[in-house]
Chain A
Amino acid sequence: MAVLETGAAPTPKVALRPRGVSRREGWQRRLPLLPALIYIVVVTQIPFLVTLWYSFQSYFFDVPAPAHFIGFSNYTTVFTNAAFRGSLVRSVVMTATSVILAMLLGIAFAVLLDRKFLGRGVVRTLIITPFLVMPAAAALVWAGPMLDPNFGLLNYLLEPFGVHHVAWLSTHALGSVIVVMIWQWTPFMTLIVLAGLQSQPSDTLEAAKVDGAGALATFRELTLPHLRPYIELGILLGSIYLVNAFDAVRLMTNGGPGTATTNLPFYLYQQVNFAFDVGGAAAAGVVTVILTIIVATFALRMFARVFQFEEASG
């Protein structure tokens, strides 16, 4: 059922077009692509060009003076600013920790779900649900009913283990936010790894069993290598979303206490909404984009490998 697009699709015997595509034919092919292409260029690229422009301007919402050119001074501020560097580091820590832990949990859950047992469908449904809960709702429900020091469910459940009214969001802020991110993204990883497990040819597993290989050895030597592209895909897509994590930070801790949970998205949000510093935020944004492009270049290469493109034909 679940297969990555492997290998090249057989090229059709009868080509639907002559070898050289005529100019008219070329435009006929391009035409359906243009609306989406133009749309995405206009909506996603123009704001970044404007960001680049403002990064060289001094522009504050709360100052009546019009924007004016100030050269690289926004960038100097960004690079000398400990708050920016701190939020950058926290972004990396938050993303990496939550993606890796969600993936490990996801592998464990997928292995569980790959077995036959009573009510497997229901268990699967329960496990994917956290991913479907609106992130804002998840953040607020965790912050209040779950983690509140005075009446939260977690403290009640942990009381037998000697935990007494811990104020999780002030004493373990970063950890709490990461836990919620893991809780929301583990189902995603589970589904992807499960698809990988179910695509594993059963005859190799049978053969390993006949040869007397233990369950652990089989998992390490056969299953994990088979899962590798699925794990890579999960980590890649998870990172794309989690690096932008904002909801949990804004609604659980508001970046605090202090700046303990201020990641890049929240930092940029603060710069615009509370410091009104469009120029400074733009420069920080440009630096963020450049860093993202460096990471994305690797990510895209990985993407190409994971997808193993079949040739589009015709």
Chain B
Amino acid sequence: MTALPLRPGHSGRPRPQRLREMSGRAGWGIVAWVVAIAFFLPVLWMVITAFKPESAAETWPPQFIFKPTLSEFRLVFSGMGPFLTHSVVATVGSTILVVLLSVPAAYALSVHPVKHWRDGLFFFISTKMLPIVAAIGPLYVIALHLHLLDSIWLLIILYTAMNLPLAIWMIRSFMLEVPRELLEAARLDGAGRIREITGVILPIISPGLVSTALICVIFAWNELFLALNLTVTNAATMPMYLISSVPQEGLYIAHLSAAATIASVPVILVGWIAQRSLVRGLSMGAIK
């Protein structure tokens, strides 16, 4: 595997080259920092603007030194109550439902697999590829007939379906890592399927279960399309509160930034905490 188109070989490194290597390393570090800060800048600007009084937010040139105020945050807190509740209920409710449905399903696709487990797995993932936007009109009509329009239950039901395939794939990948000897030992002790799941598998995969749940929380919390189309007031979520914070006219930039900051912070924190398992979740368990 080492047969490469080589440049004329040079072995043994003279001193200056090592020095160059070291400064090169520091150089790359600086490049990485600059890139990261530039990339992070919009988030930083959002947070900074959130602390401005409205009059300082829409100026030219933009102000970098100002007297920070919490007044916009206070305004947001006083207005977002119902939206926040709806978001929390839809997110937590759908995530619980996802976990309840996906653990047994993942079990049936890994530990004691059904005959066509491969087809099953691909069926689940294929539902992620169907564009839900294509069915939005009929979804509206169905919800209307079921009296689910503008209800938080509708969002819970749809967010569950949205996250279920991802959760099944991810949890399955954790279950495959449970040592088979443990399962066999439990079986010899006379454990049935239920005890095998609750007694052996769940304790081992619980960290994986938590990171799966966190990924589901991120996607459900951030969802806008379905909420915008299928809810009005009784189930409107945080992304919709953001939209309502942009008025037709008048100054709004500081207010919007405060609202955007508050809406984003929970998920940003969750993501930072779950950083290590983020890759695994986003790749549906393919990358460990």
Contacts and interface: CB of A to CB of B under 8 A. Distances in A.
Contacts of B270: 132
A217 B260 contact: no
Q: Which of A32, A237, A282, A307 has the most CB of B within 10 A?
A: A32
Contacts of B283: 192, 195, 233, 237
Q: How large is the interface on A (under 10, 10 to 19, 20 to 34, 35 or more residues)?
A: 35 or more
B207 to A, nearest CB: 15
Given A115-B25, A117-B28, A126-B39, A135 B142 contact: no
B152 interface: no
Contact of B29 (A26, A117, A218, A272): A117
B252 to A, nearest CB: 8
A307 B164 contact: no
Nearest to A109: B35
B137 A285 contact: yes
B126 A251 contact: no
B32 A314 contact: no
Given A141-B46, A214-B7, A136 B39 contact: no
A51 B137 contact: yes
A183 to B, nearest CB: 7
Given A36-B101, A36-B168, A130-B39, A272 B157 contact: no
A46 B142 contact: yes
A231 B86 CA distance: 37
A142 interface: yes
Contacts of B135: 47-48, 50-51, 285
Q: Which of B25, B37, B40, B287 has the most CB of A within 10 A?
A: B287
Given A47-B138, A48-B134, A51-B137, A140 B113 contact: no
A300 to B, nearest CB: 6
B211 interface: no
Given A47-B139, A136-B239, A32 B130 contact: no
Nearest to A216: B7
Contacts of A213: 4-7
Contacts of B41: 153
B229 A272 contact: yes
A30 B253 contact: no
Interface string B137-174: 11111100000000000000110110011001000010
Interface in B194-241: 218, 221-222, 224-225, 228-229, 238-239
A140 B31 contact: no
A40 B165 contact: yes
Interface of B: 1-2, 4-11, 25-26, 28-29, 31-33, 35-37, 39-43, 45-46, 49, 57-62, 101-102, 104-105, 107-115, 117-118, 120, 122-142, 157-158, 160-161, 164-165, 168, 173, 176, 180, 183-184, 187, 193, 218, 221-222, 224-225, 228-229, 238-239, 242-243, 246, 252-253, 256-257, 259-261, 263-264, 267-268, 270-272, 275, 278-279, 282-284, 286-288
Given A40-B165, A151-B60, 17 more contacts: A2-B279, A2-B287, A16-B112, A50-B141, A115-B25, A117-B28, A129-B272, A136-B224, A137-B264, A145-B257, A222-B1, A237-B284, A244-B132, A264-B133, A268-B137, A278-B140, A285-B135
